[in-house]
Amino acid sequence: MAENPKESGNILTNILSEIVESPLNLALVGLIAFLIYKIVKSRTHVPSFAPIEPALPKLKKRDFSVEELRKYDGTQEDGRVLVAVNGNVYDVTKGKRFYGPGGPYAAFGGKDASRGLATFQVSVKTEEYDDLSDLNSMEMDSVREWEAQFKGND
């Protein structure tokens, strides 16, 4: 009784012959190899990011007038952005893409953002001191929540 070559060969030979004999299996192996290649290539590819700007030195804690604060809207040479919330000033330069020129919250850069954050209106313009006395309790709670968030990131 003669042995069948498939039975006498090792397992690897059997698997290879199954793949080669069926066009569907051959196509699936090719697809799997391509997907593995794409996965490995994507992990080794290092994305190019914009160069990281050097960190600015921390500002000393001090009081700002509305006019002094206005200078820190991200348009000056150093690019520093400050935002005031509930009477406190926070350096948000790390979030310049949000609060700096062209950002979605650029209206808050260099200004007191309390009223805008309380009323969820980015377009609120506050050119002078705003005592916030006309805000209701829910709006003041919102201001305090934002203030806590800024304190946590400062």
Both 90 and 20 in one domain: the answer is no
Name, in order, each residue with C-beta under 8 angstroms of 74's C-beta and a sequence gap of 6 or more.
Answer: 80, 81, 93, 96, 99, 100, 101, 106, 109, 110
Please tell me the pTM assigned to this model: 0.62
- Tell me the CATH number at 144: 3.10.120.10
Query: What value does the mean pLDDT of the chain take?
Result: 84
Both 146 and 82 in one domain: the answer is yes
Instruction: Identify whether 58 is part of a domain.
Output: no
Residue 150 in contact with residue 90, Cβ under 8 Å?
yes
Q: What is the pLDDT of residues 11-36, one digit of tens each?
A: 888 888 888 888 898 899 899 999 99
Both 126 and 80 in one domain: the answer is yes
* Residue ranges making up the domain that contains 26: 9-44
Two structure tokens written together for 1: 């009784």
Per-residue model confidence (pLDDT) at position 6: 47
Mean pLDDT for 119-144 is: 85
Domain total in the chain: 2
Instruction: Identify whether 147 is part of a domain.
Output: yes
Both 39 and 71 in one domain: the answer is no
User: pLDDT class for 51, splitting at 50, 70, 90?
Assistant: low
